[in-house]
């Protein structure tokens, strides 16, 4: 069996019983279960959700996206071996710690397979909650050009690239295109201020204005927990993205939860501590892959300039990356996952067949 066979690149073609189209994102695909299957599983498995809560199967893939494109490798290797299992393992680890430390629950109800979550439908807060502990990346690029205000917060002069910030900086942006909010452009992923959120909390899907403080507290507590844990592993937690939403439990109580993924090499920058103390940045996250792409192609502006998206998509479609590049990325993802969880990342010989067997025999979701 070739290495390419062990990669789960296509994850939207599983024969899971559903009455709705499969929603396929850059990395995950979501299968909404039928009402009958949702009710049956809630009863059989004892999930702490309302009896009529819609459930979904969320299947991760090994695809790798960067600069809003999916990248592929030579020899039909259309993903990174071990990446999907590594991402899920890291998220599962942090979500479990959040729950055990009394922070908040997540949308995950069950983990049938390393590639699979059973999740409850949540009403998402329409904010990409970004938290930064160091000045780097896009923030540094703006700062170096003279910008000093970020999401309504003034930053001091005299900072150097990759320096630790005086405190945790929350720089939220919109999740999706929000319409009719004064001062907020109708485009995806646009920076917003806390004042924008306070003045329009219902448009951002908050149930009440008090929950703005609650989301910020969960963001800070979650960030601090991950940062402290990684510090004990001599890793630097640089920045990350959180997402939040509302669900209703079995007693009918609405609660704010963590959702999507958290603290992963896809959603965060993680640096090697020893290298950082030595004045070097060694990435243990997707940022290393982004830098590799910028160095790999002769015209990096294609990857950075949103006005050249057509050229960028053609670049991703027409170029097969060397297998060695994808294996380097694999080692980064599986290495940091094993460091965080203390467990090896298992590479399935045939992940799709395993998923089908489990969801058929143990969950009754495949005919």
87 and 157, same structural domain?
Answer: no
Q: For 6, phi and psi rounded to 5 degrees?
A: -85, -5
CA distances to 68, 127, 180, 189 from 176, rounded to whole Å, are 14, 8, 13, 7
**23 & 115 share domain:** yes
Give the pLDDT of the chain (367 residues) as one tens digit per residue. Answer: 677 778 999 999 999 999 999 999 999 999 999 999 999 999 999 999 999 999 999 999 999 999 999 999 998 999 999 999 999 999 999 999 999 999 999 999 999 999 999 999 999 999 999 999 999 988 999 999 999 989 989 999 999 999 999 999 999 999 988 888 888 888 888 899 999 999 999 999 999 999 999 999 999 999 999 999 999 999 999 999 999 999 999 999 999 999 999 999 999 999 999 999 999 999 999 999 999 999 999 999 999 998 999 999 999 999 999 999 999 999 999 999 999 999 999 888 889 999 999 999 999 999 9
Establish if 93 belongs to a structural domain: yes
- 54: domain range? 3-122+340-361
The values of phi and psi at residue 188, to 5°, are: -70, 145
Residue with tokens 């025999």: 361
Do residue 243 and residue 344 come from a single domain? Answer: no
Residue 202 lies in a domain: yes
- Spatial separation of the C-alpha atoms in residues 174 and 184, rounded to whole Å: 9
* 66 lies in some domain: yes
Cα separation, 171 vs 192, whole angstroms:
7
The verdict on 104 and 154 lying in the same domain is no
Note the maximum CA span of the chain.
Answer: 63
Asked whether residue 137 falls in the same domain as residue 250, the answer is yes
- Do 226 and 272 reside in the same domain of the chain? yes
Indicate if 100 and 140 belong to the same structural domain.
no
Looking at 277, 302, 324, the residue that finishes a domain is: 277
Closest CA relative to residue 220, chosen from 237, 234, 235: 237
Q: What is the DSSP string of 73-99?
A: EGGG--S-TTHHHHHHHHHHHHHHHHH
Number of domains in the chain: 2
Question: What radius of gyration do the chain's Cα atoms show?
Answer: 21
Indicate whether 16 and 134 sit together in one domain: no
- Which structure tokens are listed for 248? 């209703």
CATH of residue 19's domain is 3.30.200.20
Last residue of a domain, one of 257, 277, 297: 277
- Domain-embedded: residue 184: yes
- Same domain? For 150 and 201 the reply is yes
- Residue at 158 is within a domain: yes
Query: Is residue 294 domain-resident?
Result: no
The closest of 94, 34, 51 to 230, measured between CA atoms, is 94
Residue that terminates a domain, selected from 232, 256, 277: 277
Q: What is the DSSP letter of 306?
A: G
Q: Do 98 and 129 fall within a single domain?
A: no
Q: Please name the helix (run of DSSP H) or strand (run of DSSP E) that holds residue 180, with its range, or none.
A: none
Q: Model-level pTM?
A: 0.94
- Does residue 189 form part of some domain? yes
**Co-location of 14 and 152 in the same domain:** no
Q: Are 284 and 113 in contact (CB under 8 A)?
A: no
Q: Are residues 192 and 211 in the same domain?
A: yes
Percent of the chain that is helix, strand, coil (3-state, to 5): 35, 25, 40
User: What's 269's domain CATH number?
Assistant: 3.30.470.20
């Amino acid at each position: 069996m070739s290495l390419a066979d062990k990669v789960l690149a296509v994850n939207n073609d599983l024969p899971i019983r559903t009455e709705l189209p499969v929603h396929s994102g850059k990395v995950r695909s979501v299968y909404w279960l039928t009402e009958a299957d949702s009710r049956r599983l809630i009863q059989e498995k004892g999930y702490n959700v309302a009896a009529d809560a819609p459930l979904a199967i969320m299947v991760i893939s090994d695809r790798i996206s960067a600069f809003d494109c999916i990248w592929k490798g030579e020899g039909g290797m259309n993903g990174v071996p071990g990446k999907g299992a590594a991402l899920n393992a890291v998220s599962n680890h942090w979500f479990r710690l959040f729950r055990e430390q009394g922070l908040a629950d997540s949308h995950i109800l069950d983990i049938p397979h390393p590639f699979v979550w059973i999740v409850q439908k949540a009403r998402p807060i329409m904010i990409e909650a970004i938290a930064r502990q160091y000045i780097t990346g896009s923030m540094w690029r703006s700062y170096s050009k003279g910008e000093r205000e970020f999401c309504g917060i003034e930053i001091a002069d005299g900072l150097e690239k990759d320096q630790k910030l005086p405190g945790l900086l929350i720089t939220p942006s919109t999740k999706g295109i929000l319409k009719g909010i004064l001062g907020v452009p109708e485009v995806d992923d646009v920076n917003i201020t806390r004042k924008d959120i306070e003045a329009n909390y219902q448009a951002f899907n908050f149930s009440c204005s008090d929950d703005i403080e609650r989301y910020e507290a969960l963001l800070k507590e979650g960030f601090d927990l991950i940062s402290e844990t990684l510090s004990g592993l001599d890793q630097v937690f640089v920045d990350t993205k959180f997402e939040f939403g509302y669900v209703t439990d079995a007693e009918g109580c609405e609660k704010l939860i963590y959702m999507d993924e958290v603290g992963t090499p896809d959603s965060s920058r993680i640096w090697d501590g020893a290298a950082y103390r030595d004045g070097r940045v060694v990435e243990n996250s997707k940022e290393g892959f982004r830098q590799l792409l910028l160095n790999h192609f002769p015209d990096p502006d294609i990857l950075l300039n949103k006005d050249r998206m057509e050229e960028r998509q053609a670049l991703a479609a027409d170029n097969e990356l060397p297998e060695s590049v994808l294996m380097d990325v694999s080692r980064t993802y599986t290495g940091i996952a094993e460091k965080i969880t203390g467990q090896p990342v298992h590479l399935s010989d045939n992940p799709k067949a395993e998923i089908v067997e489990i969801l058929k025999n143990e969950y009754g979701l495949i005919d």
